[in-house]
Chains A and B, each alone.
Chain A
Amino acid sequence: RKEVEQDPGPFNVPEGATVAFNCTYSNSASQSFFWYRQDCRKEPKLLMSVYSSGNEDGRFTAQLNRASQYISLLIRDSKLSDSATYLCVVNLMNTGNQFYFGTGTSLTVIP
């Protein structure tokens, strides 16, 4: 079983739509959670960290549900520039202390 699982999509949404991605992780000892964004043939870049209380950054909201072992990313008022692959990242501190990346969810925002 993969440590981190995401729906690969693709999600094709019109401009202005709201879209949500979920990511599940297998190890309840996971400590840190992140969403990274990766544009086609580019390197991943941090979008936002995910805190227990949930956090918001402009049009982006991240939530963590430890009981159900999933994190979510909500994008409101989608822009064309939001088209990218979104990677869920989980840190497992009790298994060699490393990041595990999901395979990513592809988003295309359509004019």
Chain B
Amino acid sequence: NAGVTQTPKFQVLKTGQSMTLQCAQDMNHNSMYWYRQDPGMGLRLIYYSASEGTTDKGEVPNGYNVSRLNKREFSLRLESAAPSQTSVYFCASSEWGWTDTQYFGPGTRLTVL
């Protein structure tokens, strides 16, 4: 099992460009999450999907959209990138919701110039 995979690993964008971060898990988990990690801020939840077909906002959703494509895949889209979105983005999954262990992908390091 690969666990949680993310693509790309690194990305540099110019202000105003758009891109989609891809995430997939092969553990048959129901819940999936997107976080960003910034120095001195800890991980902050952007969006989550408790189960296939549902998505909800987290702590910092502005500037992002998500799609739960199927049970395996959960993508994060930046429609018009801003320098404030420079961060490390982690996708995670858990079997069911918030009492279960979250398994994280290796992260995407995004720089917006």
- Could you tell me which A residues sit within 8 Å of B by CB distance? 4, 8, 31-32, 34, 42-46, 49, 87, 91, 93, 96-104
Contact = CB atoms under 8 A, between A and B. Distances in A.
Contacts of B98: 31-32, 91, 93, 97-99
Main secondary structure of the interface of A (DSSP, over half): strand
B90 interface: yes
B97 A99 contact: no
Interface stretch (B14-22, B76-84, B104-112): B104-112
A100 B102 CA distance: 12
Interface centre among A32, A44, A99, A104 (most CB of B within 10 A): A99
Leading 3 A-B pairs by shortest Cβ distance: A43-B104, A101-B43, A103-B42
A101 B42 contact: yes
Nearest to A93: B98
Given A31-B98, A98-B59, 6 more contacts: A43-B107, A44-B43, A96-B58, A99-B98, A101-B42, A101-B43
A101 B42 CA distance: 6
B26 interface: no
A109 B45 CA distance: 31
A104 B59 CA distance: 18
Contact of B105 (A43, A98, A99, A103): A43
